[in-house]
Structure 1
């Protein structure tokens, strides 16, 4: 996270005191005890290598996407609000950048005419990155994800999870970008099919 944040704050010329304050806030959020996968150590670390050459817009969106996280609840509005709070704190009066990030975060009320489609697709693929990792890492992810949904009983969780996985299984391509598809598509398909079989046999 530190390297990504350094890239962002340097490119946007964010005052050092503001940059330091928000890095602490980000790290605190991503280390909360209810986070097993959606944490700096797991999710952010896995995304980091794919963000080093990405646009500032993509980098900011990736760090604020799960700033607030509560399994089973929609935190889009909260995350959009905290992104706006950061931009005000950093004195970044750039409506285009703000709208582009908000759109990536899921705010359907904003309009952006110059958000590259490639950025949208890349952002979507980043969120699905873990699906194409090794079977061992994927298994760890499923365990961590279940821990985040610990309030839901096993039967309900398995049904919910199975429905999501079957949806992935029916679409022609999991990854929208060529780079991610070539590297992760086959592994993601295998991981998903294996998890479906496990869930169906429970």
Structure 2
């Protein structure tokens, strides 16, 4: 399995739906994505993350109102990723908007894609929020519901991405994130992902909290 090839082929296939895209354009756009997601400081938010989300996307694609904007959001949502920055989502959304407008996609659809990306900043939505956004956020969080070995690998990779912080600072910051998850009534906002991953995710989150408390 070549994850890079799988991610690229799916992206190029998406671009083929837009007349303004050609080989030069698709190569340029993909090279930007591949370069960003291959940055050396990325241990989790890399092409493996995109590939994992693509698998989840395929399971719910038929349920989405505008699957193409969800797919674009998937590729661009972590384009900018600096553990020290508080504006990663805004910067990623801004680049996505620029690239999609250059493809000739209507502003209304581009805004939908941008909103998907911006929603990953807090993972909080109201009841009347776009259903596609809920599916997208659930895809992004689906790693929480992975089996034990995969979840442990995920936690190690997240720690590596935040290696600039001391163990104590990381423990405090990560605990805040996990506490937020544990206090949320539902981690997953769609019934599909709730049924698939909610129970396992809560177990994993609780286990990680306990692990951090022992340090």
Shared fold (TM-score greater than 0.5)? yes
Q: Is residue 151 of structure 2 the alignment partner of residue 160 of structure 1?
A: no
3-state SS of paired residue (1:37): coil
Bigger shift: 131-140 or 10-19?
Answer: 10-19
Given that 1:58 and 1:119 are in contact with CA atoms closer than 8 Å, whether structure 2 keeps it comes out as yes
Q: 1:14-41 CA distances to partner (integer Å, 9 max, x unpaired)? A: 222201211111111111101000000x
Cα separation, 2, equivalents of 1:16 and 1:63 = 18
2:52 is aligned to 46
Give 2:39's aligned residue. Answer: 32
Deviation at 1:6, TM superposition (A): 2.7
Map 1:51-200 onto structure 2 (within 5 A): 51-52=57-58, 53=61, 55-73=67-85, 74-90=87-103, 92-106=104-118, 117-200=130-213
Sort the Cα spacing of 1:116 and 1:5 in 2 relative to 1 into closer, same or farther, 3 A. farther
For this pair of structures, how many residues does the alignment match? 193
Using the size of structure 2 for normalisation, the TM-score is: 0.84
TM-score, reference length from structure 1: 0.89
Cα RMSD for the two superposed structures: 1.8
Distance of 2:72 and 2:187 partners within structure 1: 24
Asked if structure 1 preserves the Cα contact closer than 8 Å seen for 2:69 and 2:109, the reply is yes
Gaps of 5+ in 2: 1-6, 120-127
